[in-house]
């Protein structure tokens, strides 16, 4: 067995050596067995499944065929990012091998000796690629400042005397398209779900501050809509507005008749007054007012944990704050019962989300409970004269699906999940109906025309798995989402500066498909298109974005059984009027 160490996901592996395998296996978790196996394929697949070590037996040696995509302008900020190396013997093949080993789609060569890697295609063409590669004078290697960009068509030559027959598809297995004119990727299957005997619950964060115009009918409609997505109740985020307690009262009244839809209070202490005993008393009275409601969420079959006195009066509660204190203080603290890890729903850096934050929190809590966060995306766009919030968190790689799959993998370790959010339009992670302007915090510029309710049926798929321990039966269904412009686009009339962390995202159309039986699936973004033959079950697909509408279709036995085309509703625009890193979401 050839063994490699992956010090960091997305970085090329380090070869450790050759080891004798046996029974039991040196590496106990089988990830893939089949004719596609190469060392790079194995290490990237292991990294995708969050393993630090990868071992290959009976692999196939890859042969890379370079496809030239043209000459593109570079900038001082590096349009293909900072992942690069220099070589006095650089060739196109050398750069491609380096980039593909690191999990990148594109290789850019510049100044004869520099190699850059990216999963995002440059957009500004150039005529400045006049330099040849220092290691192969027959090939073009950019200029000053310009780069030749290549991608790879991969074939393989067997180095083993025997070959393994194709195995059934496993979670996380990649699949090559049968036809594609642009970089595209598919990840097949879903992870196994650990068995657990405890009751699992799934809540959504509801911003009461965005419900000023709500009537009882509005609460009823949103609760019913939430139930279609598998949501068990709302965490009612309350701020300091004087009218909010009345809306909370309406919510409890409506939920009492919703057949199991539950509510609990979530005080925003960055907004609520907290200057003295009177302020604490007001909060206590609001809790007591609704504690006996049949809609009140409870913990432990209704037996709530007694905690310390509030304003000198003992009352029973289960307190789950989202605090931002050092985790080293969690275990010794006695004033809370569990912790909501608010920022576990997004990657906080430029990489993909993993479960390291979850494990850090759970380890630090010293036996206290844990509530995980789930979110589909994050983008906020307020200038200095407003809330002064202008950034994105990376929301790529099918974040809604992959985060829920990570939560499923930890199903034996906690019982509570909170989705952020149901209606926080200002941060773009709303899942419910788009509200009128009066119920949005000056966010219509990036929410109008960008519905998210199509995600609800996909949410239901995973919520069912969370609560029952089994995925629902697969039907033919499609979910598509895309941002409206390239991350590097320069708007004609921007309201604010380019959002912070914009470079962390990718320009891709994301698609999730479930199939009742094997079928052919085609997705497209503008002129970019890719087609796969896919098995029954769930698959996650993506293709590089291009100007125009987004489409997807499922074809079986020559007949189209499901399709979607965004023409008239959404178009990916290379020259937008303003910045918008929100997602347009659709389904079929």
DSSP 308-365: --BTTB--B--------S-GGGTTT--S-SEEEEGGGGS-SSSS---SHHHHHHHHHT
User: Which pLDDT does position 91 carry in this prediction?
Assistant: 87
User: Which pLDDT does position 104 carry in this prediction?
Assistant: 79
Write a three-state SS string for 176-203.
CCCEECCCEEEEECCCCCCCCCCCCEEE
User: Which pLDDT does position 10 carry in this prediction?
Assistant: 39
CATH class (in words) of the domain with range 62-155: alpha beta
User: Which pLDDT does position 37 carry in this prediction?
Assistant: 57
pLDDT lower than 70: segments of the chain: 1-13, 23, 29-38, 40-41, 43-51, 58-64, 82-83, 101-102, 153-173, 300-316
Q: In sequence order, which residues have a C-beta less than 8 Å from that of residue 559 and are 6 or more positions away?
A: none
Report the distance separating Cα 452 and Cα 459, nearest Å: 11
H-assigned helices in 163-276: 216-228, 244-255
Write a three-state SS string for 14-60.
EEEEECCCCCCCCCCCCCCCCCCCCHHHHHHHHHHCCCCEEEECCCE
Q: Which of 343, 241, 251 is nearest to 289 (CA)?
A: 251
Domain 201-468 coded CATH 3.40.50.720: no
User: Which pLDDT does position 174 carry in this prediction?
Assistant: 74
- Report whether the peptide linkage leading into residue 170 is cis, meaning its omega lies within 30 degrees of zero: no
Contact predicate 92/133, CB 8 Å: yes
CATH 3.20.20.80 residue ranges of the chain are 201-468
The helix/strand/coil state of 512 is strand
User: Which pLDDT does position 164 carry in this prediction?
Assistant: 27
CATH 3.50.4 residue ranges of the chain are 62-155
Q: Which of 304, 317, 369 is nearest to 341 (CA)?
A: 369
Report the distance separating Cα 413 and Cα 361, nearest Å: 12
User: Which pLDDT does position 25 carry in this prediction?
Assistant: 73
Cβ-count burial 189-199 (b if 16+ within 10 Å, e if not): bbbebeeeeee
Cβ-count burial 420-440 (b if 16+ within 10 Å, e if not): bbbbbbbbbbbbbebbeeebb
| Tally of CB atoms within 10 A around 159 | 10
Domain 477-587 coded CATH 2.60.40: yes
User: Which pLDDT does position 305 carry in this prediction?
Assistant: 34
Starting at the edge strand that comes first in sequence, how are the strands of the sheet with 369-374 ordered? 262-267, 233-238, 201-207, 416-419, 369-374, 338-341
The helix/strand/coil state of 149 is strand
Tokens representing residue 451 in the block:
């519905």
User: Which pLDDT does position 41 carry in this prediction?
Assistant: 56
Q: In sequence order, which residues have a C-beta less than 8 Å from that of residue 148 and are 6 or more positions away?
A: 68, 70, 71, 92, 108, 109, 110, 129, 140, 141, 142
The model carries a pTM of 0.71
The helix/strand/coil state of 444 is helix
H-assigned helices in 102-155: none
Report the distance separating Cα 128 and Cα 315, nearest Å: 73
The helix/strand/coil state of 481 is strand
CATH 2.60.40 residue ranges of the chain are 477-587
Report the distance separating Cα 537 and Cα 189, nearest Å: 6
């Amino acid at each position: 067995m050839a063994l490699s160490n992956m010090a960091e996901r997305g970085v090329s592996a380090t070869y450790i050596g050759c080891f004798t395998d046996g029974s039991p296996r040196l590496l106990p978790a089988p990830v893939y067995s089949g004719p596609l196996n190469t060392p790079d394929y194995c290490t990237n697949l292991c990294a995708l499944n969050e393993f630090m070590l990868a071992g290959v037996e009976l692999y196939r040696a890859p042969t890379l065929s370079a496809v030239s995509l043209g000459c593109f302008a570079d900038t001082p900020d590096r349009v293909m990012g900072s992942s690069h190396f220099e070589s006095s013997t650089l060739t196109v093949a050398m750069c491609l091998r380096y980039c593909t080993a690191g999990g990148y789609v594109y290789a850019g060569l510049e100044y004869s000796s520099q190699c850059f890697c990216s999963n995002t295609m440059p957009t500004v063409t150039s005529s400045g690629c006049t330099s040849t590669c220092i290691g192969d004078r027959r090939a073009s290697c950019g200029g000053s400042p310009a780069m030749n960009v290549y991608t790879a068509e991969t074939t393989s030559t067997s180095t083993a005397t025997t070959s393994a027959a194709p195995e059934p598809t496993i979670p996380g297995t990649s699949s090559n398209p049968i036809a594609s004119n642009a970089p595209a990727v598919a990840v097949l299957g879903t992870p196994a779900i650990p068995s657990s005997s405890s009751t699992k619950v799934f809540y959504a964060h509801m911003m009461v501050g965005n419900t000023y115009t709500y009537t009882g009918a509005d609460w009823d409609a949103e609760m019913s809509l939430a139930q279609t997505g598998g949501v068990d109740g709302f965490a009612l985020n309350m701020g300091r507005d004087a009218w909010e307690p009345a809306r909370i009262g309406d919510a409890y009244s409506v939920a009492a008749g919703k057949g199991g839809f539950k509510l609990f209070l979530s005080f925003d202490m960055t907004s609520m007054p907290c200057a003295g005993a009177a302020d604490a008393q007001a909060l206590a009275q609001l809790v007591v007012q609704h504690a006996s409601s049949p809609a009140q969420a409870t913990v432990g079959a209704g037996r709530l944990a007694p905690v310390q006195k509030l304003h000198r009066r003992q009352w029973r509660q289960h307190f789950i704050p989202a605090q931002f204190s050092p985790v080293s203080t969690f275990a010794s603290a006695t004033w809370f019962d569990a912790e909501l890890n608010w920022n576990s729903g997004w990657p906080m850096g430029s990489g993909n989300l993993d479960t390291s934050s979850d494990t850090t929190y759970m380890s630090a809590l010293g036996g206290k409970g844990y509530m995980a966060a789930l979110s589909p995306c994050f983008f906020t766009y307020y200038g200095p004269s407003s809330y002064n919030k202008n950034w994105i968190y990376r929301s790529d790689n099918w974040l809604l699906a992959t985060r829920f799959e990570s939560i499923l993998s930890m199903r034996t370790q906690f019982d509570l999940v909170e989705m952020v959010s149901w209606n926080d339009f200002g941060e773009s992670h709303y899942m419910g109906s788009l509200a009128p302007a009066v119920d949005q915090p000056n966010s219509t510029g990036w929410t109008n025309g960008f519905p998210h309710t199509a995600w609800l049926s996909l949410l239901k798929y995973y919520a069912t798995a969370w609560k029952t321990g089994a995925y629902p039966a697969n039907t033919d269904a499609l979910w598509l989402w895309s941002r409206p412009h390239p991350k590097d686009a320069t708007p004609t009339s921007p309201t604010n500066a380019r959002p912070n962390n914009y470079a962390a995202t990718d320009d891709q159309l994301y698609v999730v498909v479930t199939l009742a039986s094997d079928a052919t699936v085609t997705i497209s973004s503008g002129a970019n298109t890719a087609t796969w033959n896919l098995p029954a079950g769930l698959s996650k697909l993506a293709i590089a974005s291009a100007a125009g509408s987004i489409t997807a279709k499922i074809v079986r036995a020559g007949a189209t059984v499901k399709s979607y085309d965004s023409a008239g509703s959404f178009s990916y625009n290379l020259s937008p009027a303003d910045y918008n890193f929100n997602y347009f979401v659709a389904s079929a």
